[in-house]
Chains A and B, each alone.
Chain A
C-alpha cells in the first residue's frame, strides 16, 4: 500500500483520477483498524490533512466553513463555534477519546458511513452542506444526502468532501445532540438524537429539526416530531406537554433498528424516544437563552 500526501485539492483529485485503487483518509482512526482487520485493502491511501483548506475553520457574514479533515479537537476548542452551535460541537467532541479527537474529523465521521456516527445527526439538523470535489470539479450537496447505507456513500469515484458549509444561527435558535452509550466514553452510540429549534419573539416554535442516529441504516429525520413541534410554545415543550409525547412517539416510530451487540431493537426504539425528547428540551433551553441571531453576538450564551 502506498501513502500519498497531496497539498492541494486539485492535486488530490488528479491522484485519485490516476489511481482508482486509492482511498482518501483524514485521521485514519477508522482506516487503520479496517486495514488491520483485513476489511480494506486499498492500493494507495491519500492523506487529506496536508491540504490546508481541509484543515481550517473560518467564518464570514454568511456562516462557517469547516474543513472536512479538521481535527474535531479544533472544533471543541473553537469558542465562537461552540457558542453558536453547541450541539454540533458537542457531537463532534463525542467522537472517541482526547487521542481520537486530535485525529477525527467531520468529513471522516460522515464518509466512514457508520449509522452510529455522532456528528451526522447534529450536522443534519443544522442543515449543513458538503462541498464535494471530484473529477468534474466541485458540487455542494446536503450532508443528509452523503450517506446511503452502512459503509456506503453517494460520492462517485474520485470524489471526496472538501469542506462543510454552515449558515449562521438565526435568532432564538438552539441545537443539541445526545447519545446513549453503555459507558461514559469510548463507545459507539447505541442511539443518538440531534435537535434544532427556532422560536419567534412570543416563544412559539417556528422551525424544528430532529434527527436520529444508530437506529436505521442512515441518519433519520423525524418529520412527525418536527411538525408536532412547529407552532408549539416553548413553555409546553419544557413542560413536557402533548407535543413532547408526540416527539417521543414519532422518534420511536421512525426507527428501523437492528438487534446487534450494542443494543436491541426494542431498546433502541424506546431510548430514541427518550433522547429525542431530551435533545428537543436542551435545544429549546439553548434557544431561549439566546436573544438574537448569532451574528448579533456569536459569543452569546448557548453553551450549557
Chain B
C-alpha cells in the first residue's frame, strides 16, 4: 500500500512526512522526521519517554497513529528551547542534576512544560502526580521534582518581572 502523506507543524515548522497507516507517531517522529529526542521506552504508554504535546495536549507519541497527526501541531523536546535560551525547566534540570542517564529526560521536560503551562504554582504533590506517567529509574525522582518546582518559581518571578 502506498504510504500516507501527513502535513503537520512540528516545533513551529510546517513538516511533511510519509508513513504507514498503522505506524505510530513515535515511529514517524523518530524514523521519518528524524527527531530522535523523542524516546521509546516501552511502546505501550507506560513510561512517558515519548511524551510530546499534540495540539497542546500532553500525549505519549507511541499511542498515537501517525496519520492522526495530519493538520496537528506538535511540540517535542527539540522544540522547548529558543535559539537564545533554554526553557526554564531545562535550565533547572541541568543546575539541579535532575538527570543521570538522561534517556527519560526529554519526556519529563515535555510533561513538566505541560504542567507548568496550566499550573504555574504546583505543590510537590501536584508535581509528583503530574509526572507519574513518566518513569525514571536513575534519580528516585527527588531532584526531578525539585527541578520542576524550581522552574515554576523561576517562571513566576520572571513573569512578575515582566509584569512590572
Contacts and interface: CB of A to CB of B under 8 A. Distances in A.
Direct contact of A and B (CB under 8 A): yes
Interface of A: 1-3, 5, 27-29, 32-33, 35-36, 45, 47, 49, 71, 73, 96-100, 102-103, 184-186
Interface in B40-64: 43-46, 48, 51, 54, 57-60, 62-64
B111 A32 contact: no
Contacts of A49: 68
Chain B at the A interface: mostly helix, strand, loop or mixed? mixed
A71 B57 contact: yes
A102 B62 contact: no
B21 A1 contact: yes
A13 B56 CA distance: 30
Contact of A36 (B4, B43, B48, B129): B43
Contacts of B48: 97, 99
B130 A98 contact: yes
B106 interface: no
Q: For the side of the interface on B, what is the size category?
A: 20 to 34
B22 A99 contact: no
B24 interface: yes
A36 B133 contact: no
Contacts of B68: 3, 5, 28, 47, 49
Contacts of B60: 99-100, 103
Contact of B45 (A47, A96, A184, A185): A96
Interface of B: 1, 4, 21-22, 24, 43-46, 48, 51, 54, 57-60, 62-65, 67-68, 111, 114-115, 129-130, 132-134
B132 A185 contact: yes
Nearest to A50: B68
Given A27-B63, A29-B45, A36-B43, A99 B21 contact: no
Contacts of A73: 57
A248 to B, nearest CB: 29
A98 B111 contact: yes
A218 B60 CA distance: 29
A73 B115 CA distance: 13
Contacts of A99: 45, 48, 51, 58-60, 63, 111, 133
Contact of A97 (B24, B54, B133): B133
B133 A186 contact: yes
B132 A97 contact: yes
A47 B69 CA distance: 12
A98 B63 contact: no
A141 B78 CA distance: 47
B51 A3 contact: no
Contact of A3 (B44, B46, B67, B133): B67
A97 B21 CA distance: 26
A33 B44 contact: yes
B126 to A, nearest CB: 11
B132 A184 contact: yes
Contacts of A28: 63-65, 68
